[in-house]
Amino acid sequence: MLSWVLFRSVITQCNISDKQTRLAGASNRTADRTRKAPLSIDLVQGILDQGEDAIVVDLHLKLTRPRVPMAVPNNANARWSADFVHDELADGRRFRVLNIVDDFSRVCVGQLTELSISGERMVRYLDQLAQSRALPATLVLDNRPEMTSKAMFFWARRHGIKLHFIQPGKPTQNASIESFNGKFRDGCLNQQWFSGIHDARAIIDA
């Protein structure tokens, strides 16, 4: 459930309607005053439906959506959950692991280990997964900047996937991935000493 997310983008395009121009102008004035204005997710989706090249936006707005409970998945690939786990290498550098779990089978469908993972990198990894297995109908995420990025919104739109955002500060709404993360930390991360990022990838992927 998308309770709120800061969505900020600047995409230029000359061929837009007067209505879009007025929307962009009003949004820019709001951003200049550094105020957060309420904006429904339906309006944002409507803007996205115009196409990536038809948006002229500079937004710092507050998105809202009514609280709706998640339905229990009844088959594999109906819903995946994704979240990050952090750890440290022997030289003190921190790295991240993106864990993705199927909420029905509780199977880990993918793990990405990197020093940093942006929204664009997350999208590329999801596309890699799509080459070997079917993508889910719904992807459950929290409100981290990588997961609420333009790259993720456009990726979900291209593939027809619903992004379901949990409420901020409510990790229990993403219980499947939280349970997996705890077991992964206890059974792997806390048991290993990673000499470098390549060593971490080799151990985690084994």
CA distance 44 to 146: 18
Res 45: pLDDT: 57
The band of 70, judged by pLDDT with boundaries at 50, 70 and 90, is low
* pTM confidence score: 0.68
Contact 14, 54 (CB under 8 A): no
Of the chain, the end-to-end C-alpha distance in Å amounts to: 33
CB atoms within 10 A of CB 139: 22
Q: Which helix (H) or strand (E) holds 180?
A: helix 175-187
Task: Name residue 139's beta-bridge partners.
Answer: 80, 163
CA distance 82 to 163: 11
Name the H helices within 50-159: 119-130, 150-159
CA–centroid distance for 69 within its chain: 19
User: What pLDDT, on the 0 to 100 scale, is given for residue 74?
Assistant: 84
Angle subtended by helix axes 119-130 and 150-159, to nearest 10: 20
Residue linked to tokens 């000359």: 14
| Average predicted confidence (pLDDT) for the chain | 77
Q: Which of 4, 69, 1 is nearest to 40 (CA)?
A: 4
The letter for the amino acid at 197 is I
pLDDT band, residue 83 (cuts 50/70/90): very high
Instruction: Supply the pLDDT for residue 206.
Output: 82
Which tokens sit at 8?
């900020």
What would the mean pLDDT of 48-57 be, rounded to a whole number?
46
Q: What's residue 47's pLDDT? A: 54
